[in-house]
Amino acid sequence: MRLSRYFIPVTKDVSSDEKMIASHKLMMQTGMMRQNAAGIYSWLPLGFKVLKKIEQIVREEMDRAGAIEMLMPTLQSADLWRESGRYDAYGPEMLRITDRHDRGLLYGPTNEEMITDIFRTYVKSYKQLPLNLYHQQWKFRDEVRPRFGVMRGREFYMKDAYSFDLDEASARVSYQKMFAAYLNTFNRLGVTAIPMQADPGPIGGDLSHEFLVLADSGESEVYCDKAVLDVPPPGEGFDFEDHDALIEEMEKRTKFYAATDEKHDEAAYAAIPADRQVKARGIEVGHIFYFGTKYSDPMKAEVQTKEGELTAIHGGSYGIGVSRLVGAIIEASHDENGIIWPDEVAPFGAGIISMKPDAEDCAAVADDVYAKLTAAGKDPLYDETSDRAGPKFGRMELIGLPWQVTVGPRGVKNGVVELKRRATGEKEDVSVEAAIARITES
């Protein structure tokens, strides 16, 4: 993409609000998003690209774990929520809407009721189980205090998956699959997210884990054993059908103490060797629940067993804050000059700075780098504007693409370009071919 033809409204001055956390400020400065109302944002091209990359990784890992993608609407019927008893219980966070026929609607804060209704309509036999359906869709929660940009929005993008099983034992296997899939997902996104015992809150149930990315700006206070940070994720070859492997995976991690303040047990924490005690703040990027028959009982989501009896299914739900992750990744990966995008979610694979776009020889080399990186599928951002060097470097640093290739007159004379790795700041003068090779290998 040529920067002169793209739309990145970079602004240095965003707000003097001291409480603005780094990710919020950086997202505003880089023109990734625009606030339209409290907690409601437009995703401008750069931000939208990142959101879509995260969505795609989440999708791939859900699919790999056997979940099936679909799409439910943002608006839901109030009657469905009356069936489960949550219409009144949900409180003022729910945005209630009345249509022209005076029918009650709501902007969905989550989809347990709707998916249970779909399930009960079509699934009648144990033979069709287990089933895990998911979608990625906008949600609305009328938060009292929307803040920190996309971290606590009112409208936000969520991946929510819903599992249906014949009994509790099988539902726990479904839960373990999602647990393992989440570890792989967050690992691919370049963040360390720690599973912690959590309070199920309004979703309900008795088994629940939150996944938290440690960051000073996080809203939750967390306590954990440092050892939990060192357990590697299950990885690419992991077999989701191998139940023993699933159990082992979950045990490997849950045997170490890790809890949010709501579930914190001071005595258990004190028993951890002092040099391994971690008290920190965290951002909740995922939350999984096993809630048994909480929705299937009142909504009559029943299937026939082998013996021909009707039984309420056992359910779980599994959320990932996709839009929140954009902020969480930046919170975990930035410096005083700007964002440092992990390779997998970077909006562009590399940035090219043409220092003298008016000089024919310089422009030719920069065009060549642009063509080659594009052909290699690296989707580069090409700054061929006539802005001065300082602002060009500053802007590229701020946007924080994993690689920067600077094409300047002196280098061109010597047959080299400058290759810089954003994360480490390492710079090297190399040939165009070597630069392309390094970037495509990463």
CA distance 84 to 115: 12
Q: Decide if residue 317 touches ligand 5CA (CB under 6 A).
A: yes
**Which positions from 122 to 151 touch ligand 5CA by CB under 6 A, shown as an x/- string?**
-------------------x-x--------
CA distance 282 to 211: 9
Looking at the Cβ atoms of 219 and 387, the one nearer to ligand 5CA is 219
Looking at the Cβ atoms of 155 and 418, the one nearer to ligand 5CA is 155
CA distance 162 to 164: 7
Shortest distance (Å) from residue 317 CB to ligand 5CA: 4
- The answer for residues whose C-beta is within 8 angstroms of residue 254's C-beta and 6 or more apart is 195, 197, 209
Stretch that binds ligand 5CA, among 47-55, 65-73, 225-233, 318-326 (CB under 6 A): 318-326
Q: Decide if residue 284 touches ligand 5CA (CB under 6 A).
A: yes
Two tokens, residue 341 = 């995008």
- Residue facing ligand 5CA at closest CB distance: 321
Q: Decide if residue 24 touches ligand 5CA (CB under 6 A).
A: no
Q: Give the 3-state secondary structure of 308-323.
A: CCEEECEEEEEEEEHH
* Cβ–Cβ under 8 Å, residues 209 and 262: no
CA distances from 310 to 112, 164, 165, 342, 354 (A): 21, 15, 13, 49, 69
DSSP class of 232 = P
Shortest distance (Å) from residue 112 CB to ligand 5CA: 6
Q: Decide if residue 156 touches ligand 5CA (CB under 6 A).
A: yes
Q: Decide if residue 287 touches ligand 5CA (CB under 6 A).
A: yes
Determine which residue in the list 31, 153, 357, 411 makes contact with ligand 5CA, applying CB under 6 A. 153
Shortest distance (Å) from residue 152 CB to ligand 5CA: 5
Q: Decide if residue 113 touches ligand 5CA (CB under 6 A).
A: no
Helical packing angle, 168-188 and 243-254, nearest 10° = 70
Looking at the Cβ atoms of 27 and 365, the one nearer to ligand 5CA is 27
Angle ∠(335,336,340) on CA atoms, nearest 5 = 30
Q: Decide if residue 209 touches ligand 5CA (CB under 6 A).
A: no
Stretch that binds ligand 5CA, among 156-164, 233-241, 247-255, 399-407 (CB under 6 A): 156-164
**Which positions from 228 to 257 touch ligand 5CA by CB under 6 A, shown as an x/- string?**
------------------------------
Q: Restricting to residues 365-424, which ones interact with ligand 5CA according to CB under 6 A?
A: none
Looking at the Cβ atoms of 41 and 348, the one nearer to ligand 5CA is 41
Looking at the Cβ atoms of 291 and 341, the one nearer to ligand 5CA is 291
CA distances from 336 to 25, 333, 394, 398, 405 (A): 12, 11, 11, 9, 21
Other beta carbons within 10 angstroms of residue 258's beta carbon come to 25
Q: Decide if residue 191 touches ligand 5CA (CB under 6 A).
A: no
Can you point out the beta strands (E) in 169-301?
193-197, 207-214, 220-225, 258-260, 277-292
Shortest distance (Å) from residue 51 CB to ligand 5CA: 12
Residue with tokens 């014949």: 166
Determine which residue in the list 204, 321, 402, 408 makes contact with ligand 5CA, applying CB under 6 A. 321
Q: Decide if residue 203 touches ligand 5CA (CB under 6 A).
A: yes
CA distance 337 to 341: 13
CA distance 148 to 188: 24
CA distance 34 to 40: 9
CA distance 362 to 357: 6
Stretch that binds ligand 5CA, among 120-128, 153-161, 189-197, 237-245 (CB under 6 A): 153-161
Shortest distance (Å) from residue 322 CB to ligand 5CA: 8
Interacting residues with ligand 5CA (CB under 6 A): 110, 112, 141, 143, 152-153, 156, 158, 160, 203, 284-287, 289, 317-319, 321, 323-324
